Structure formats: structure tokens, C-alpha cells
Amino acid sequence: MLKLKNVSFTYDKNPVLKSIDFQLKKGENLSIIGESGCGKSTLLKLIYGLLHTDGEIFWEDKELLGPNFNLVPGEPFIKYLAQDFDLMGPLSVADNIGKHLSNQFPKKKKNRVKELMEVVEMAELATTKANLLSGGQQQRVALARALAKKPELLLLDEPFSHIDHFRKNNLRRRLFAYLKEQNIACIVATHDSTDALSFADETIVLKNAQIYAQDTPENLYQNPPNKYVASLFGDVNEIILKQILPENNSKKHVILYPEEIKIKRNSAIKAKVLKSWFRGDSYQIEADLNGKIIFFKSLKALPKDKIVGISVNKKLIKERLKN
């Protein structure tokens, strides 16, 4: 189990992280999300030992000490994949992945490299030199190399940022399924809501150098404590209650995702269409609701300036206002 207690870090007198506490069990996947500069990458570096903190970081009963105590950072049971991949350009894909594996058992090494190339979908480029690969291909090789000596804890900093969208989804499914099968704990610092929602057991939101929210992805998405948290998962509306419930004079705000606002022909609540954005399976509609810009979904594009009725499930509003 990973345990962080009162972990802080300051750069040039500016606090980057303050009093960070959390735990992570073996085999669990934790996603860390937040706006750029909130400290996601710094937190991974502190856990790995690249930076020093006066707080405490433990893996089981072993304290993980930073550069003030270790000449060479890191622990053999932790692997860290940063946003720079540090591959050996003249070496092949297979040789880069197997670079730190023992040559004492060549057949075992070959099978391990083959297994990992299949996990990251690079088997067809096994003999290709790393300096001939695209950025996304290099990222996949670096990911396989991080797994080569099976770690107990894997730290990933934007691990899919260079990978083509058509390949990214399948790769994520394969990777996180593999980590679960192998009981490898993982922390992913990411801007991508899919990483946070679809694959994490728990999600931490960082803001103003602190843990701003922490819960399961489902709870954070379905019951966001505020607009900032909700916006990390995509477009979001923050609407005054009386604008969507005419019978209610409350000035409270309710947070709603575009898909939660429905088109209803005979509704007394009217919005004026400003623009339709094609999103593949639907259109996202930008509209004016009494001077407030809102977004909702439609199965077809709506003409500009069209007046449409909208509604929101009252039970949903009631649940959302509990938070």
C-alpha cells in the first residue's frame, strides 16, 4: 500500500502542493486530474523520489526518500513514465523494451519482450529503430519498457498524449486490463477525462496546491461538488434554479451536463439556438437562456435563432442540489 502524509512542495517560495494525504492499495488505479500547473506531475515526481518533501511517503513499511537521501532516485519496485521518453535511438523497439532485462535467460527475456510489445501493440515494429518512430510509437515503447521489470507501482504522466485517437482507446483497455491482471498499482496524471472516468478506481482533483475533491469517478461525475470539478469531465452548465424551474424563485445554482438538458416542445422554458456543433452521434447545441449561454444535446442540427423548449428532470435537480 502507498501512503502519503502531509506531502508538500514549494518552488521559489510558491507552494505547488500543500498537505497532500491519500492511500493507494496494491492493484488499484488512481487518476489525478486538474488544470495545467495544479501539481499533477510534481506529485508523481515526489512519489518517485525526484523531488524532496518534508512529508512522509511510504510503500508498505518502507519510507520512500527523495534526492536529499538517495544519490540515484527511485526504487526498483516503482516505475515512472515521464512525458519525455528517453529511448535509445539506435536500438530497436525490442531492444529498448528489453534493455534492462537480464540476458542470463535469453528465451525468458524474448518472451517477456514479445508479451509487452503485444500489450502496447508494437509487435509489427519490433526490429524498427526507435529514432525512426513517431512520437506516439515512442510513447508506447516507453510504456512497455516501464513494465519490463514488473513494478509494484506504476506512475504515468499523460501516458497517451502522443497517441492517435483511433489507437488510444484500445491501448487503454489493454493496458489497464493488464495492470489489473498483474495486480500492479497505478497512478495516472492526466487531462483526459476518459482516463479518469473509465479506468480509475478513484480520482483525485487538485486545485490551488491541495486536494480539492476525492471520490470514485462515478460519484465525482454524477454529483460534482462544484463547476470546476464537473468541467474537468467536459462541457458543463451552471444555471440559476429559477431559470429552469419557473415555479422556483431560488437563486441557487445547479450544475448540469449538456446531455441532462432535454428538448421538450411544450416546455415553458425557452432557449434561442446560437450554433450547432456536430459531435458524431449527436449535435451539441449552444443556446441563449435568458442571457445565459447553455449547452445541450440534440440528435439533429437546429437552425440558428430557433426557439426551443427545454426541460430538466426534477429528481436529478433535487439530487444535484444535495451536494
List pLDDT tens digits, range 217-232.
999 999 999 999 999 9
- pLDDT per position as a tens digit, 176-192: 999 999 999 999 999 88
Model-level pTM? 0.91
Q: How far, CA to CA in Å, does 288 sit from each of 15, 109, 254, 285, 300? A: 40, 61, 17, 10, 18
- Judge contact between 40 and 33, C-beta under 8 A: yes
Give residue 276's pLDDT.
97
Local structure of 143: helix, strand or coil: helix
- pLDDT per position as a tens digit, 115-129: 999 999 999 999 999
- What average pLDDT score do residues 75-92 get? 90
Looking at every residue in the chain, the average pLDDT score rounds to 93
Give residue 147's pLDDT.
94
Stated length of the chain: 323
pLDDT for 247 beyond 70: yes
- pLDDT per position as a tens digit, 135-172: 999 999 999 999 999 999 999 999 998 888 888 889 99
Quick one: what percent of the chain has pLDDT higher than 70? 100
* Cell output for 148: 519490463
Local structure of 40: helix, strand or coil: helix
CA distance linking residue 129 with residue 208, whole number of Å = 43
Give residue 323's pLDDT.
65
Give residue 164's pLDDT.
85
* Cell output for 46: 515526489
Which domains, and CATH codes, for the chain?
2-230 (3.40.50.300), 236-321 (2.40.50.140)
CA distance linking residue 185 with residue 171, whole number of Å = 18
- Judge contact between 243 and 249, C-beta under 8 A: no
Backbone angles phi, psi at 92, to 5 degrees: -75, 170
CA distance linking residue 323 with residue 321, whole number of Å = 5
